[in-house]
Structure 1
Amino acid sequence: MVDTRLTPAPQRFAAPWLGLASALVLAAWFGWKAYGPRDLGDPIANSLVALEKQDKLTVFSAQLSPVVAADDERLFGILKSRQVAVIPARVDYTIDMDAMDRNRMKWDAAAKRLDVILPPLQIGRPNLDEGRAQYLREGVWITPDAQAKLTRDNTLLAEKQAGAQAANPVLVDLARSAAKDAVRRNLAIPLQVAGYGDVTVTVRIEGEPAAN
């Protein structure tokens, strides 16, 4: 007997978080107003204030739909069953902002340019949404124990597959770009507010080559 009530869903990807830019702008503004000096002061210190209390900053989130299959045999192979599963998963990409310090920033006063090196991008553990999982089961008789084992096996396989998908270079590049764009935009604003004028902020992630 085959249960065909549900069919697999296509894989989908999420865009970078749209609210990140505005949140960082507000954090930079209030941080400078609360802690910043009245004169221009140290541009690196002002920039670090804008990044305070960010902790692990989520810069990108991918929605994945791993398709996995597991088999089970019982009674010396007499009872065979198979379960195909589509289990939605979300993977977050973060930057550990607690690691930011003066050594990761360089200010060029003549060019009015701030060079920033971010900590490495971190890929989070897949968060499976088993409540929205879809299953296709095959077998003449699937015992409760067999079904439980098939589900456990599929969960492990889905987590592993989602992790591999999250490491796809295309997704990693999107996450890196989102991180750099957000930090670039939102470090420029507090410097402008502090009176440095039209500044340039260059951002790269640790391990990336410096721009010429």
Structure 2
Amino acid sequence: MVDPVLTPAPAPASASSPARSSLRQIVLPWFLFALALALAGFLGWRLWQPADAGDPLATSLVAFERQNSLTVFSAELAPVVSSDDSRLFGLVKAKQVAVIPARIDYTVDLAAVDRNRMRWDAATKTLTVRLPPLRLSRPNLDEARAQYLREGMWIGREAQDKLTRENTLMAERLAGQQAANPVLMGLARNAAKDAVRQNLAIPMQVAGFGGVTVTVTIDGESTG
């Protein structure tokens, strides 16, 4: 006698299955949309966020990048020079004394300032910056305001042009020497330090670092 094979009847479908399926159909698209939105937001944040966000040195360098060269001081000088001219075997002599106003600018090459010239002390919130030596511009002579005093029985056009050229070259050279004197250089260095402090303190504060002390030194300055 062959035993009958009993096939188990299929279990009745749960009444909650259609509800769960319907719930998945509703929630899944919104979940995928939220996931895509979050991914897009993350990628956008990574795209627009500065590479060194939160880095005080990077914040300082960004502030410097806005102006590669910073004029920190200008000197108005009035060099007094004189030149002589002799012609016809010394029989005709002439002399010209000139006072030629000159302007010289003192600048800082901010493009030369990199991370190696900066140091950040997080404990004291102090940023130390070492600047390259100041650069002096070529003297800008204002010959329209120059004053001349000429001596000589007779000064021809050729002699006068020669005296003026020589006076101009001498005034330019003398103005450069006067601009490099210790007093003016000291004033220019102090102005450079103040300017750099202002250029860095505000961006650092805006970036969220709070009140930061900025210490500035310059290559070649006396430490005595």
Shared fold (TM-score, shorter chain, > 0.5): yes
Higher relative contact order (CA 8 A, sep 6+): 1
Q: State whether structure 2 residue 80 is matched by structure 1 residue 67.
A: yes
Could you say what secondary structure the match of 2:209 adopts?
coil
Matched pairs, number: 177
TM-score (norm 2): 0.74
> 104, 112, 129: which is aligned to 2:125?
112
Could you say what secondary structure the match of 1:111 adopts?
coil
Paired residue for 1:92? Answer: 105
CA RMSD of aligned residues (A): 2.0
Question: C-alpha distance in 2, partners of 1:209/1:142?
Answer: 49
Q: 1:146 to 1:69 in 2, by over 3 A?
A: same
Moved over 2 A (4+): 35-40, 207-211
Alignment of 1:1-212 (within 5 A): 37=50, 41-208=54-221
Could you say what secondary structure the match of 2:216 adopts?
strand
Question: Match of 1:120, as an amino acid?
Answer: P
Following TM superposition, by how much is the alpha carbon of 1:123 offset from its aligned partner in structure 2, in angstroms? 1.6
Amino-acid identity (%): 69
Question: C-alpha distance in 1, partners of 2:223/2:128?
Answer: 10
Following TM superposition, by how much is the alpha carbon of 1:97 offset from its aligned partner in structure 2, in angstroms? 0.9
Q: 1:103-151 CA distances to partner (integer Å, 9 max, x unpaired)?
A: 1111111111111111111122211111211111111110111101110
Runs of 5+ consecutive residues of structure 2 not aligned to the other structure: 1-47
Question: C-alpha distance in 1, partners of 2:178/2:60?
Answer: 35
Is residue 131–residue 217 contact of structure 2 (8 Å, CA) maintained in 1?
yes
Following TM superposition, by how much is the alpha carbon of 1:173 offset from its aligned partner in structure 2, in angstroms? 0.4
Following TM superposition, by how much is the alpha carbon of 1:186 offset from its aligned partner in structure 2, in angstroms? 2.2
Is residue 40–residue 195 contact of structure 1 (8 Å, CA) maintained in 2?
no
Question: C-alpha distance in 1, partners of 2:138/2:186?
Answer: 18
Question: C-alpha distance in 2, partners of 1:201/1:68?
Answer: 43
Query: Which has the larger helix fraction?
Result: 2
Is residue 73–residue 80 contact of structure 1 (8 Å, CA) maintained in 2?
yes
Could you say what secondary structure the match of 1:41 adopts?
coil
